[in-house]
Structure 1
């Protein structure tokens, strides 16, 4: 074989390796980004599930505690903010506000022993509790997936292709400020 033929074969092999590396990295990045979007949608599904339970819970409590309008209004406001949230950060902030409003509702419930004995209230509280657990699991899954994705787009050689093709860092679903404070519930 001639020297020029060998040179062209080597150059061709290098170009082929670069192209295959780019295709493989791009496809891996697309899969990772889709996984993040999927996990985000799972959080949205669980938040919607909670949105569906809360009106029934509030209406049950209203029957016993009609004069607690401020608590009911804060829940309605927080639900509206959550429904209108677009970004992960907005969802996390609105979710924190709703969790705070729900904790105030539970404080109100403590003042009404008959309400706690109500079968419908108990069923709704069980459903809300189960939904809160599902939300926590969905958040953890989302954050794990985002962490893996963010790591992937920063590692070599994917970092080259991620910046070239516009793959950007995703935000984690973080607790709202003040969420680390334990709510004061008095019995």
Structure 2
């Protein structure tokens, strides 16, 4: 029986090596990376949500005439911050789409707010407004960067769980499901029409 011990040891080593190549570690590693990148996305969106009330207050102080647009921004911010998506929802297309739609509505409302500011030059001359818009612009860049990093991590994770040999561990051990990535809004591939009222 002792003659079989080296053979048995070789079988155990071979089994361990083959299991290590079956997604035992690579699947959760890729998943945790994607979840960490998602945390960066949430942080960037939260920063934007935190800055918006100050910007609205600054604009509101300068003009009461455009209260409808200001109200739209406030409501869009409330909707965007009320949709809480967890890392478990990253594999749920419906929940992910709700989150993305709410964030897109807030982006559109902010665009309308910028139009109001263009009509009131005295707002732009305010130091507080300049600081806030600079912070918001930097935050929008952070959001874009965080979304790109998240999409890259999701692509890596989704590829890991679909390719051999990791698919074995992904399906059998982890029950892995593909994660959702950010997509462009429908129609964003068409350049907007610019009308200066001429």
State the TM-score, normalized to the length of structure 2.
0.83
User: Within the alignment, does 1:167 sit opposite 2:166 as a pair?
Assistant: no
User: Within the alignment, does 1:117 sit opposite 2:125 as a pair?
Assistant: yes
Evaluate the alpha carbon distance shift between residue 92 and residue 29 of structure 1 in structure 2; reply closer, same or farther with a 3 A threshold: same
The equivalences for 1:21-170 within 5 A come to: 21-23=18-20, 25-85=23-83, 86=85, 87-164=95-172, 165-170=174-179
1:18 maps to what in 2? 15
Matched position secondary structure for 1:26:
coil
2:185 maps to what in 1? 176
Evaluate the alpha carbon distance shift between residue 37 and residue 113 of structure 1 in structure 2; reply closer, same or farther with a 3 A threshold: same
Aligned counterparts of 1:73 and 1:177: Cα–Cα separation in 2: 25
Gaps of 5+ in 1: none
State the TM-score, normalized to the length of structure 1.
0.87
Evaluate the alpha carbon distance shift between residue 179 and residue 69 of structure 1 in structure 2; reply closer, same or farther with a 3 A threshold: farther
Bigger relative contact order (CA 8 A; separation at least 6): 2
Residues 61-106 of structure 1: CA deviation (Å, up to 9, x unaligned) = 1112212122122212221221122243322211111100000000
Aligned counterparts of 1:185 and 1:131: Cα–Cα separation in 2: 28
Shift of 1:55: 0.4
CA RMSD of aligned residues (A): 2.4
2:91 maps to what in 1? none
